[in-house]
Amino acid sequence: MRGFYAVFRKEMGSFFVSPIAYVVIASFLFISGFFFWANISFMSILSLQATGNPMLAERINLTDVVVRPLVQNLAIVLLFVMPLLTMRLFSEEKKSGAIELLLTYPITDTGVTVGKFLAAAFVLLVMLLGTGASVLLLTAIGKPDMGTVLTCYLGLFLMGMAFMALGTFISSLTENQIISAVVTFGAALLCWILSWTSTVAGKTAGAIIKELSILEHLDSFNRGVLSLSDVSFFVLFTAFFLFLTVRSVEAHRWRG
C-alpha cells in the first residue's frame, strides 16, 4: 500500500476545497435533523396518548420510537448519498487524463485504491458523527439504550463502507461521473432489495439470497444484535469490491 497517504491527502483536499463535501454533509445533516424531529414529535404524541393507558406507556421508549426509525431512515438516505461521494474518485481523473500521471508515481495500485476509499470513508464518518448531537440530546431528555444506539450506528457505518467500496469499483470502470453515480445507486438498491425475492426463490435459493442481502444483515444491527457473521459480511463485501477496484486500476495501468 505504498503511497496511500499521499493519495488520501490529495482526495481530502479535493473533497473539502471544493463544495462537494460541504453540500453532501449539510444535506445529510438537514435530512437527519428532520427525521429526528419527526420521531421526537411522534413520541410526544404517543406519550400523551399513554397518559391514560399504562400498558402503552410501558412499551414506549426512546430507542424503539426514535433511534431505530432514525437509523433505518438514514440507511435509505445513504443509498442516495454514497454514489455522490464515490462517483468522481476515479471517473474524474480518467476523463481528464490525470490518472495516467497518478499511475506514474511510486504508488502501488492498492495504495491508490485505499487512499481514495479512505478519503471518502472519512467524509462518511464526519456525516455520522454530525448526527451525534441528536443522540446527546436524547441522553439529556431520557435514557436510551446506548448499547443498541452504538450497535445501530456501527451497522450504518459498515453498510456505508460497503456501498462506498461498490461505488469506488464502479467509478474505476467509467470516465463519466453521472454514469458512475447512476450505476452505483442501481447496484446498491439491488443489494438492498435482494431479500424481497427470497420468498419466491425456493427454500435453498431463498436462504442463499437472504445471506447475500445487505438489508437482512443490517436488520440485526438495528435490533441491537452484534453478530460476528453480520460484521464479517460487511467486511468481506467491502474487501471484495476494493480487490476488484485494485484489479481494475491494474488493468488500466497495463492498457496505458
DSSP 29: H
The span from the CA of 7 to the CA of 107, in Å, is 9
Instruction: Give the mean model confidence (pLDDT) for residues 82-103.
Output: 79
Q: Report whether pLDDT(98) > 80.
A: no
Q: What pLDDT does residue 155 have?
A: 92
For residue 201, what pLDDT is reported? 63
Q: What is the rounded CA–CA span in Å between residue 84 and residue 171?
A: 11
22-26, 93-97, 155-159, 187-191: segment of lowest average pLDDT: 93-97
Decide which of 43 and 26 is more confident: 26
| Predicted pLDDT at 133 | 83
Mean pLDDT of the region 66-72: 86
Q: Which helix (H) or strand (E) holds 15?
A: helix 4-17
Least confident window among 32-41, 106-115, 125-134: 106-115
The three cell numbers locating residue 1: 500500500
Q: What pLDDT score was predicted for residue 112?
A: 86
Cα gap 110→103, rounded to integer Å? 11
Which of the residue ranges 32-46, 77-91, 92-106 would you say has the lowest mean pLDDT?
Answer: 92-106
Least confidently predicted of 13-22, 132-141, 201-210: 201-210
Domain that holds residue 76: 4-255
Domain count across the chain:
1
In this predicted structure, the answer to whether residue 101 has a pLDDT above a threshold of 90 is: no
Segment 152-177, tens digit of pLDDT: 899 999 999 999 999 999 998 888 88
**Residue 217 neighbours by CB under 8 Å, 6+ apart:** 155, 229, 230, 233, 234
Amino acid at 224: G
Residue 207 in this model has a pLDDT that exceeds 80:
no
Model confidence over 123-140: pLDDT tens digits?
A: 999 999 988 888 888 777
Cβ contact 141:39 at 8 Å:
no
- Give the separation between CA 32 and CA 28, rounded to whole angstroms: 6
Average pLDDT of the chain? 83
**pLDDT band for position 256 (50/70/90)?**
low
Task: Please give the pLDDT value at position 50.
Answer: 63
